[in-house]
Structure 1
Amino acid sequence: MDAASESTADVTESIRDYFQKDRSRMTMMAARKFGVTEKSVVDALVGQWPIVRLREGVFRELLEALPALGTMRVFVRSRAAVIESVGTFGGFSDAGPFFNVQTDTLDMHILHEEIADIFAVEKWGHDTTTATYSFQFFDHSGDAAFKAFLWESFPDVPKETIEAFHTLAKRLSADAD
């Protein structure tokens, strides 16, 4: 193993240890702590948590399936701020480089070509004593572009909504046949 691989393995192990001590920690804060991208943190937790890497090219299919999951809480952040919005996906259209989501509750203009990786993540919430379920979208540099969490009746998300989340993740999985 070369020095770079060993260093990556050490960071991965450190990230895993960090979350074993407190599973409610935020991946965004872990990325800052370890000096890696947030995608690297999620990658490190694959196999430790129920995380599914989605296959390439499923962006539109996934977004168009989200209305069936009901109300979602969407997080969009930069290095300086985070915005959280609760609503339902729908009203899809394309305009130039943008894939648009326009409903009464969400208005997003997504540069979808900038989305490089998508994960379905089941994680203990940082401010709750229950699991959260989200689709997390990362750009080419490994930064979180946005995250969409199941939010219907949160924290008591209906069992059938969680099952639909798992079914969708499995269907779009990079490991799907």
Structure 2
Amino acid sequence: MTATLSSADIRTAKRDATGVRDRDLADNLGISEAQLVAAFTGADGDHRVTRIAHHPDDVMPRITALGEVMALTRNESCVHERVGTFLDYRSGAHASMVLGPDIDTRIFPKHWAFGFAVETKTDKGTRQSLQFFDHAGDALQKIYLRDTSNHDAWPALIDVLKTNDQSYTISVVPRKDTEGAKVKADNRETLLTSWAALTDTHQFNRLCSKLGMNRLGAYRLASGEKWVRPVQPDCIEAFMNAVSQARQKVVLFVGNAGNIQIHWGTLDTIKPMGPWLNVLDPNFNLHLRNDHVAEVYVVEKPTKRGPAMSLEAFDAKGGLLFQCFGQRDGEDDDLAQWHGILSALPSLEEVMA
């Protein structure tokens, strides 16, 4: 927390900033969002915060008791909201996951540093949420109770997760800069040869690391070859409308360093609102800052089941905004419709010409 801004100052600023989202208010104050939330620890009135355990092993198996909730995961430019119940939690030393028909996540526990139970009074009643942040104080995942949730389970859950430390200040580390494209031009032929030998999409990150590159660097280096086609950055709205009109099922990933959240299903209601491009469906919402999209690629990776074709978008800093794959509708689905949607997107070279 900045030396000139006390917790009382933060609480006053929050009261005066009606309608401003916590993330935006924290940026305006020059603090992290986690510091803003922590300032209300133990506070009465419209906002009450309890510091809780933050490690996924302690938290995720217990969230099932809340029943149907809304899980939110975001990065700087894309917000992914999914309604469902947290079911099958599988712990791992480096990566954990929640599996289920509605809530599907990939969790990287080393980034989880702070946890809070937040109760906020609104005109529609008290809004209850669990919020988790990384070491820099940036949000990893937020879980909101809904009218259909098991509200009776909330007090017992908070009681068991509550930590001994209920102070209203926290120490955060500086936020790491987004890693831009890492390219090793001398490894281009090895990249292309190894790419052709892939049998699973999960092998790709290991391949990039082995060759001293990252995802975006590899895409740039391989652009124009069989596996990567750069497309017009402003194609996302047309892409989503095509997916919606075709009733094409997709697998859509949005994440940050500590959490990746996945939507399986269709994208039905597409609504642009100012700079935001939105999917507004009953159990899934997506909010994308379309003006932040700087690079978009159609990517093919060979697998044992056939080619895995994706659309992947990056911001100007090189940060991955989202990945979207086609979802097979039955074992016999060859994803021809999905491949057709992707092939219709204009190549960047065509636009430039």
Cα distance change, pair 172–35 in 1 and its aligned pair in 2 (3 A): same
Task: Using the TM superposition, give the Cα deviation of residue 175 of structure 1 relative to its aligned residue in structure 2, in angstroms.
Answer: 2.8
Q: Which of 39, 44, 48 is equivalent to 2:39? A: 44
Bigger relative contact order (CA 8 A; separation at least 6): 1
Residue matched to 1:136: 131
Question: Is the contact made by 2:99 and 2:105 (CA closer than 8 Å) also made in structure 1?
Answer: yes
Aligned amino acid, residue 152 of structure 2: E
Q: Which residue of 2 aligns with 1:175?
A: 164
Superposition deviation, residue 170 in structure 1: 1.6
Gaps of at least 5 residues in structure 2 are 166-353
1:145 partnered with 2:140: yes
- Aligned partner (choices 79, 84, 97) of residue 81 of structure 2: 84
Equivalent in the alignment of 1:166: 155
Number of matched pairs: 161
Identity of aligned residues (%): 25
Does the 8 A contact of 2:90 with 2:98 survive in 1?
yes
Deviation at 1:102, TM superposition (A): 0.9
Evaluate the alpha carbon distance shift between residue 116 and residue 24 of structure 1 in structure 2; reply closer, same or farther with a 3 A threshold.
same
C-alpha RMSD of matched pairs (Å): 2.2
One-letter code aligned to 2:113: A
User: Residue 133 and residue 103 in structure 1: after superposition, are their counterparts in 2 closer, same or farther (change >3 A)?
Assistant: same
Q: In the aligned structure 2, how far is the partner of 1:111 from the partner of 1:56? A: 12
CA deviation string 1:141-162 (max 9, x = no partner): 1101010111242xxx5xxx33
Amino acid at match of 2:102: T
SS of equivalent to 2:88: coil
> Does residue 75 of structure 1 match 2:72?
yes
More helix by share: 1
Distance in structure 2 (CA, Å) of the matches to 1:74 and 1:113: 20
Q: What TM-score do the two structures reach when normalised by structure 2?
A: 0.42
**Equivalent residue letter for 2:120:** K
Displacement, 1:28?
1.5
What pairs up with 1:109-124 in 2 under 5 angstroms?
109-124=106-121
CA contact (8 A) 2:85 2:103 kept: yes
Matched residue of 1:149: which SS?
Answer: strand
Verify the 8 A CA contact 1:23 1:124 in the aligned structure 2: no
Instruction: Determine which structure has more spread, i.e. the larger CA radius of gyration.
Output: 2
- Helix, strand or coil at the partner of 2:38: helix
For residues 24 and 71 of structure 1, the distance between their equivalents in structure 2, rounded to whole angstroms, comes to: 26
Where structure 1 has 5 or more consecutive residues not aligned to the other structure, the ranges are none
Matched residue SS, 1:97: coil
Contact in 2 for aligned 1:52/1:120 (Cα 8 Å): yes
